[in-house]
Amino acid sequence: MSFPKGLIFDLDGVIVTTEHNHYVAWKRTADQLGVPFSEKENEQLKGLSRIDSLKKILELGNLPEMDETTFNKLLTEKNNFYKDSIQNLSRKDCLPGVIELLDSAKEKNIPMAIGSSSKNAPFIIDKLELKHFFEIIVDGTMVEQPKPHPEVFLNAAKFMNLKPEDCIVFEDAESGVKAAKSGGFLAIAVGNENIASLADKYISSLTEFNL
Ligand code: B16
Ligand code: MG
């Protein structure tokens, strides 16, 4: 039996460098709220939905829940700032090894999908001109339960008519590796040594992965 029968990629931090743009945008929000926030705290936000990320910042600052209007205003401001920062995204912003792996899987007829928490995923894939590689892009608008729930990856596998155990999930975030493992996928942690022990395998970049 051949393995893997399918590949599922997280987007921010695995395919493209946008995780840094998320950090810069959330840092601005945290500064406004007076919450100490560095790349270390940002680790806990990676892979979380936009709403859960802001809740996490409030939690980090021991701030009480805020009214819905203010909360939504902060979400919109963060997203506008983030979107402005990714307007000029292009293929050159893909992380090392991405294009080579996508090409090689395509050549071997191994189906591929994106499983991302981001509601901006289709916009980003468009900018990177990668759409033709994927059977489906499952994004943050298509799930009821965000990572660490496995729904995003289960939907991707289901669309490709594959069982979780036949697929590899590539992830850079704790929430994403947990989502993959609880869904029954083989999880490869990419570029984030802190989550290596949670995954089945760790690689520093996709250049280290060979089909
Ligand atoms: P948006 P991924 C996640 O994407 C990012 O890791 C996370 O930092 C971000 O907050 C989340 O998407 C939501 O993104 O605000 O664009 O909807 O890593 O799951 O591809
Ligand atoms: Mg990610």
Domains in the chain, ordered, with CATH?
A: 6-17+90-208 (3.40.50.1000), 19-85 (1.10.150.240)
The atom number, within ligand 1, closest to the CA of 13 reads 18
| Per-residue model confidence (pLDDT) at position 16 | 97
The atom number, within ligand 1, closest to the CA of 52 reads 10
- The three-state secondary structure class of 141 is coil
| Per-residue model confidence (pLDDT) at position 170 | 98
Tokens representing 129 are 């001109």
* CA 176 to ligand 2 center in whole angstroms: 7
For a pocket test of ligand 1, which of 117, 119, 123, 141 has the largest count of ligand atoms closer than 8 A to its C-beta? 117
Residues with CB under 6 A from ligand 1: 10-13, 19, 22, 45-50, 53, 79, 116-120, 140, 173
Q: Is the CB of residue 70 less than 8 Å from the CB of residue 178?
A: no
Q: Which residue puts its alpha carbon closest to atom 5 of ligand 1?
A: 47
Amino acid, single-letter form, for residue 44: Q
Tokens representing 64 are 């009480």
Mean pLDDT by 10 residues, the chain (211 residues): 93 96 98 97 95 97 94 98 98 98 98 98 98 98 97 98 98 97 98 96 97 92
Active site residues: 10, 12
Q: Is the CB of residue 141 less than 8 Å from the CB of residue 119?
A: yes
pTM of the entire structure? 0.96
* CA 202 to ligand 1 center in whole angstroms: 21
